[in-house]
Structure 1
């Protein structure tokens, strides 16, 4: 399928996007509006107590960012009107059933949505187990439940991570995780049992009047312990793998597409080279190189690094 076909597909479509205030979400929203201004509507699910707060987060955390500068230049004084026409912020959260939307909102959305892009996630490798499970696993479950209510839904796109493959080596086939599948031979994963384990751990901590600090430490350790027991290196990739299982198990009549990006750094070309937000994972290494304060980086020359980044106006490092 060529790029023009993809662009054409989005014409007159209504798209629900979760995780739009994140780095990848901003890139997606900007790209759709730039290449297909005839998209019908982008519904952005934003964690907020009410619609006004959701609008404020949209304005300050999404459309105000530098990545939207090409769109601002194109539309000029009409930019805000264009955004208001094309984007509808929804105050809600994937951790809640029906995202916490009221019945009127829910009925209207279920009749209108053509595509769902689920990009909401917690990406902290050492997140506490209950927090990561709520977003990456139960959140996926709630997205699937909502998707099954959408009468004209064509596709559910779920953003996972390449690192659900764990620490396996060699050629790794792109195949979906089956419910209960693990990376460690001789183990079987029961997601309901993991839910009960988390609930029991919470009960014990509260019964013992544990401090917030102690509770956080215990839940982090529990997540890492469970991840390693089943063959995953950390809580993040473990819960993302479970999220994939949920997607495959609860899928309805619509197409489910799971994408597994590796490390995401900066934009390569569009809307301009080198845009990034915050400093995550390998970003500090590249920033050090761009600023010429890191002249070299120690590594194994026989290994392959799967990160491609771009920086403009960079002088060669001697």
Structure 2
């Protein structure tokens, strides 16, 4: 909203580019179109979504928690819970995509005559070429799974191996943004245009492939832990339902953990290091599953017809070599084995 208000003061502004996420679609199935969200629209049909009310609710809740002298950890936990609860009330799986959706709604309602382009990337991965291959910052999405697996923390995971993962290298997202700026610079009609920047329609790959890439890479290039020893990895066991996941976790981790806790107490904390390490692994897996659960069985495909028109314009102008964003040029096996995973190890692993 602040950015939009600032934009209205820029007399020579041609177009406003807003980066959202493809996952404002929530857990829809089938072909998901490049359509803007309407103010108050929800994913589950629940009425009453009011952006101003949501903002007031957050501010009032935070103010009350502080007035009650709650600890920082309790405030952080309570605000996270509130965000999830409000998101799920209207059909979004988490706070991130809920707030992104409300941002799009505000743009559509308040833009006046400003031309707006909404870029909706899917899962953004390390760079394909520019500024150099494999560059990434911070642990996110696929990277967090790679980190957990490479460091030996991840032995099982939830999901359907046949689920299509929609991912796109960061430099392709940037190139699509640049192309969109040029394409819409002379739009004097104040249109709003949405672009899905992803791969699920043009060049899909499956969750099960990630399991194979990770196993092959870290078997040949094991991570060296703090003790200077290589971490030996096995194949991740992918469990295809929440029931199967909870059963596997109970048998292989929770029951042994309970037994270890009793033995540790009887032996004067002799096994404390092992106990703490096992607790950490379980919490790590649970956090990843909770974070990515909506996407591990995702059955949607992001239509990219608008983006294809943009790609065609770039091809016709002869600048595709520098401003590439066609996922069909990606060989996923080569990309993950020789670019993304090595890049994650170099720039993300710590």
TM-score between both structures, scaled by the size of structure 2: 0.45
Greater length-normalized contact order (CA 8 Å, ≥ 6 residues apart): 2
CA radius of gyration, larger in: 2
